[in-house]
Structure 1
Amino acid sequence: MTDSAVLVGRILIALLFLGGAAQKAGDPGSVVELLARLGWPGWLVWPALIWNAAAGLALVLGLWVRPVAAALALYCGVTSVFHFLPEDPWQMTIFVKNWAIAGGCLVLAAHGSGRFALRPDGGAAG
């Protein structure tokens, strides 16, 4: 049951990042606007798209789960800054969700890929 739960959890978290990659590909302008609001260059949408897609696929396949999940947790923390708009309840919900996703990624980083992975990395780190 544990390995099945880890697999399902990996896939569900990965879907968020794969969906983010698809959103960036389909409507890069909205991400460019978020970046511009904080003075960041718009071209960062493209490395973010590639990272979202690659990291999502790595989680689904069970490749390098620990380091990818740790990096995704950091990514969620950084990108939450774009949604910290206290006057906008919708953006604040996204802000909080980013931190919740970071928490799930940290659990994956600590626990590992589980048995159902192309590159299983064992149980929890010591």
Structure 2
Amino acid sequence: MTNLALLLARLLIGALLVGGALQKAFSPGDAGALLVGLGLPYALVWPALVYDLAAGLALWLGVAVRPVAVSASAYCAVTSVFHLNLFLTAGDPWQMTIFVKNWAVAGGCLALAVAGSGRWAVRPDA
């Protein structure tokens, strides 16, 4: 049961990251507006897209799961700030939900970092 749970955790968190990459690819203006609103360059959308895609695929495949999960936890924590900006998001109550979701995903990533990939992975953790 443990290996199945770890596989499902990797697939679900990976789906969130890959979905974020696809959203940035097909509608970069949404993420770009959040960046620009905080005084950051719009061009940061592209490295974020690459990170989302690479981290999501690594989790799906079960490659370098522990370090990817740690980095994804930090990424979720840092990017949660974009959704807490009360001046930009005051008219959008979903932003607080996304803020809290990011912290919940960060916690799930930390648990995955501790547990590792499980047996069902391209490169299972030792």
Alignment of 1:1-126 (within 5 A): 1-86=1-86, 87=90, 88-122=92-126
**Which consecutive aligned stretches of 4+ in structure 1 deviate over 4 angstroms post-superposition?**
none
CA contact (8 A) 1:85 1:92 kept: no
| AA at the equivalent of 2:56 | G
| Matched residue count | 122
Gaps spanning 5+ residues in structure 2: where? none
Q: Distance in 2 between matches of 1:72 and 1:104?
A: 10
TM-score by length of 2: 0.94
Q: Distance in 1 between matches of 2:85 and 2:33?
A: 14
| CA-to-aligned-CA distance 1:64-105 (integer Å, 9 cap, x gap) | 000000000000011000000454421000000000000000
Gaps spanning 5+ residues in structure 1: where? none
Q: Say which structure, 1 or 2, has more relative contact order (CA 8 Å, 6+ apart).
A: 2
Q: Distance in 1 between matches of 2:82 and 2:109?
A: 19
TM-score by length of 1: 0.94
RMSD of aligned alpha carbons: 0.9
Q: Distance in 2 between matches of 1:90 and 1:5?
A: 29
Give, in angstroms, the shift of residue 14 of structure 1.
Answer: 0.3
Q: Distance in 1 between matches of 2:82 and 2:67?
A: 24
